[in-house]
C-alpha cells in the first residue's frame, strides 16, 4: 500500500497548514477497527492546509495565498511549528525545522509489528 520512490523510501508529501483542533478518540475494542486500532486512543489533528503545492520551505521559497478544505490526520504527522510573514498579498512560510532531528510518524503497517501477535503467530 505504501508508495516508494526509487531509493525505496516512503514518499511523503510535505504541507503546511493551520492546526484547528486536536481530538482524542478512544476507539472501542471491536473487531471492526482491526488489530491496529481496536481499544487504543488515537489523537486526531484537524488541519486547514495552505496551498503550497508540496513545496518544502526549508529548500525553496514557499508562499501561499489560499487554503483548501480541512483534512483529518494523525497528530504525529505534525513535525514542527512554522512562522509566517505577510508580504505582497501573500503569506511567506518560515520553516526552520531540520529533517534529521525530527521524529517521524511512520505508518505501522510494516511486518515488524506482526511479530508479537496478529495473523503471523496464529
Partner 1 sequence: MERYCGYLQAGLRSRSHPWANLNNRVLHKAYLDQIDIYYDLEDDLTITSEPKDLRRGEKVFDDCRFHFFLYSIFYLTKSSDQHSILRPPYKKSYALSDALKSKISRYFSAVTEQKPAKIRKQLPENLPSWGKVRIAGGGDRIRTAAGRNPDRERNMSYVRVRYPIYQMISAYLNFFVVRGGSSRCC
- Interface size with partner 1, residues (CB under 8 A): 68
Angstrom distance (rounded) from CA 7 to CA 110: 18
Distance of CA 12 to the CA centre of its chain: 9
User: Can you tell me which of 85, 96, 117, 118 binds partner 1, judged by CB under 8 A?
Assistant: 96
User: Can you tell me which of 44, 55, 92, 114 binds partner 1, judged by CB under 8 A?
Assistant: 44
User: Can you tell me which of 53, 60, 89, 103 binds partner 1, judged by CB under 8 A?
Assistant: 103
Least Å distance between CB 31 and partner 1? 11
Angstrom distance (rounded) from CA 46 to CA 55: 21
Amino acid at each position: 500500500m505504501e508508495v516508494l520512490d526509487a531509493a525505496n523510501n516512503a514518499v511523503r508529501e510535505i504541507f503546511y497548514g493551520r492546526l484547528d483542533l486536536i481530538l482524542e478518540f478512544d476507539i472501542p475494542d471491536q473487531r471492526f477497527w482491526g488489530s491496529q486500532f481496536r481499544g487504543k486512543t488515537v489523537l486526531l489533528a484537524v488541519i486547514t492546509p495552505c496551498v503550497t503545492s508540496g513545496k518544502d520551505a526549508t529548500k525553496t521559497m514557499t508562499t501561499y495565498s489560499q487554503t483548501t478544505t480541512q483534512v483529518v490526520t494523525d497528530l504525529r504527522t505534525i513535525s514542527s511549528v512554522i512562522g509566517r510573514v505577510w508580504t505582497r498579498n501573500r503569506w511567506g512560510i518560515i520553516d526552520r525545522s531540520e529533517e534529521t532531528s525530527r521524529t517521524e510518524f511512520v505508518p505501522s503497517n510494516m511486518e515488524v509489528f506482526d511479530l508479537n501477535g496478529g495473523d503471523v503467530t496464529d
